[in-house]
Structure 1
Amino acid sequence: MVTNSAAWIDAPYAELVVRDSPYPVPGGGQVVIRVEAVAINPLDAIVQSNGKLMYGWLDYPVVLGEDVAGEVVEAGPGASRFALGDRVVGYAIGLEKGRNAVAEGGFQHYVILDEALAAPIPDEVQFSEAVVLPLAVSTAAAALFESSQLALDYSTLGASPSRSDFVIVWGGATSVGMNAIQLARAAGYRVITTASPRNHARMRELGAEAVFDYGASDVVASVVEKVAGSRVAGIVAIAVGSAEPSVAIAAATGARRVAQTSPSVSFYDQPRSGGLSRARAKLLARLIWTNVALQTRCAIRGIRARFVWGSAIAGGPVGAAIWTDYLPAAIARGQHILGPRPRVVGGSLEAVQEALNLMRTGVSAEKLVIELR
C-alpha cells in the first residue's frame, strides 16, 4: 500500500508540520503524480501570514503549495494526455475556492493535478529546473490574455508573429515577470521591462527590447520616451510598489489596462498571529488608502487596473492555450526558458517552512526549490 505525507498547516498563522496524508484519489480529467520537486511562492507565505484575510474559504488543516514536478502514477476517468511514468510539471490549485485543499495542495509526496494544468518535461530537464514554472506562468498568462485583464491576442502564441504594439512589464526579474516577457514576445508583442541593473542582460535574453532600472528617478519618463508614440497594449504591474508607476506610464502613453499581480503593501509586514494588532491595522489602512487613491487616479484617466489571479486560466481557453498548446512544444524546443533559476534549499518536506521564512527575507531573480528524495 502506498503511503503519503504532507507539510500541513493546521490553523491560520501556524507553522507547517509534516505528517501522514491520505493518498489522493483522482477525479475526472485528473492525474496523481509522485512529487520530485516543489517550489515556494510568495502566495504560500502570504496565506500563512494573513490567516483567513484573503482565503476565507479554507477549512483548516490544509496543504499549501502550487508548483510541483514529478512522475504520473495514476490517471482518473477521462484523463488521457499522459501515460504512467511520464515526467510532468503542473499547477496544483488546492487553495482555490471549491477545490480540495488537501489532495490538491502541492507540499506533499503524492498530489492530484488537473491534466489540463500540466505539461510534459523533456528527459534532459531536471525536475528542480521545471518546477519554477507553474504559478508564475499561469499568473503571467492570466495577466496578459484573460479578457478581464489585458486581453491580448494569443491566437498565434508560439508562432512569433510581428506586432508593433508594446507590452510593459514592471518587475521583469520576478518569477511572473520572466514568464510575462516570454509569453508577450511569443504572442508577437514588443516588450519593455524594468529590473535592477544586474538583471538587465537576462531580461534582454528573455526577449525584452528595452530594460530600465526601476529604482531610477526618471524611470517612468524613460519608459514613456522609449514608447515614442507607439501603442501600448497594456501594462503588467508586478511586486509591491509597481502599481503606481505603472498607472503613471499608462496615463502618459494612453494605455487603458493595467494588470496588478501584487498589492501596494507587503503582507509580510505584520505579525503571524490572529487579532487586530497595531501593525496589522496600519497595514490594512495603508492597503485601503493606496488602493482608493490608485483607483481614483485610474477613474480620472480612464484606466482599468485589476488584480490578477493565476487560477483564472483554469478550465478556460487561456489555460488550454498555455498548458496544452504552447508549453509542451516550447519547453521541448527551448523556446520558453524555464526561469527564474532554481535555488535548491532542502531535500525533504521539513525544509518547506524554512524556505517560507527565507522567502520573507527577500529573494531576487531566483526561486526557492525543495527536492523530495
Structure 2
Amino acid sequence: MAIEFADLLLRLRRDAGRTQDQQADAINAVSGRPTMTRREINRYEQGKNIPTNHTLAHIAVACGYSLEYLQREAAAARARRKKDACREAEEQDDVKRRTLLGSAVGAAAAAEPWERLARALERGRKLDADAVAGLADRTGVLHASEGGLTARELKRMVESHLDAIVAALPRAGEHERAMTIAGGETAALAGWVAWDLGDHARAHAYYQVATDCAEAAGHPPLRALALTYASYGAATPAEAAQLLTQATKDVRGPGNAAAAAWAYGRLAEEAAGVGDETTALRALDRAHFAYDFADHTAEQSWVRFMTPYRMDALALSVYGQLGRQELAETAHRAVDRLGRELPESGVVVLGDLASALLRGGDIGQGIHVAHQFAAAAAARPNTMGRARARAVVSRLPASEHELARHLEQCTA
C-alpha cells in the first residue's frame, strides 16, 4: 500500500513535468515556507516516508489534485505500514525461536525441514477479522477512487487488489462470505474499468464472475452492482432494461437505498432513451424516493459515488431526453449545487448539465458549464465523458468553434 501511494506521488510529479527539485519548490510556493527538499520528495516517492495531512494539502494544490483522495490513500498506506511493521516483528520473533531451536539441536540439524514446516503453517494460517476488514475497506476505497482517477490509472490498482483477495480467499475460514463479496465487488469494478478502456470481452468476464460471487455468497446487491455496470454496455435498450429491472429487485430491502437509487435512475435513463416516458418518470420518482432514505455510512461501500450531484445528472439525462419542462428547474438547481463545490466525479455531472442548459435555451450558462466540462473531460477522460462531449458539441452555437474543437478532441 505504501508503495502504491509512493507511485501515485511519483506519477503526480511526472504529470506536472517537474523534477524532484521543482516539485519541492512548487510545494514550498504553496506553503509559503522553504521546508520541502528534493531529498524528502525522493523519500516520499520511494515509499520511505508518507506525507502528513498538512503536507498533503500543499501537494494537492501544487499538483491540482484531489486532497480528499490523497488523504484517503495516505491513511490506507499508513495502516498498511503499521500492519507490516507488526508482521515483521512477529517474523523476527519466529526467526529468533528457530535460531534457538537450531542451537539446541546443533548446527548439523539446523537445516530446512522445520523451516519448510513453518512456511507451510504460515500459508495455512487463517485470516483474522482485521485482515478481512482491511481488504474490504480497500475495495470501498477503490470504488470511491473511480470518480477521481482515469481507467488507466485505476486498472493496475484494481487488478492488484483482486490478486490479493484471490490469494487470501483460501485462508478466509469463517470470513469466506465477506471475502467472496469483497472479491465480487472488486471484479465488478475491474469490469467497469475494462469496459471504459474498450475491452468489452474482458468486462463481460469480470461481470460474470462478480455475479458468480454474488450467488456463492447469497448476496443479491452484489449482482445488482454487476448488472447495473453491465447495462451501460448492453447491446440494446431492451437488454439494458432487462438487466436493470433485475438489479432493482436485487436491492430491495433495508440497507440498499443508495444502490436502489442508482439502479432505478439508470432504468429511467434507458426508458427515456427510447421515449418510454411513463416508465422513465416512474423509475426516476422511485430513484429520488430511495435516495431520500440513503445512509452512505451504513450501506454498500461501492455506492459512495451516488451523491446529490449524481442524482442531478440522472434527472438531467432523463428530463433532457424526454424534453420535459422540469429540465430547466433541475439544471438551475444543479448549477447552484456545483457553485458550492465541484465533485470529484464532475465529468458526468458537468456534461449532463451543460447539455441540459444548452437544450433548455440558457446558452450563456450552458457555454460556461461546457468550458468547465471540457477541462474536467480532458483531465479525466472516460467513455461516459466522451459520449457527453458529443452531446454538448451537437448543441453548441457556431460561434463556439474553439470549444467544440476541444471537446471533439476529448471524444477521439
TM-score of the aligned structures, taking structure 1 as reference length: 0.29
Structure having the higher Rg: 2
Q: Which has the higher strand share?
A: 1
Q: Which has the higher helix share?
A: 2
TM-score of the aligned structures, taking structure 2 as reference length: 0.27
Higher relative contact order (CA 8 A, sep 6+): 1
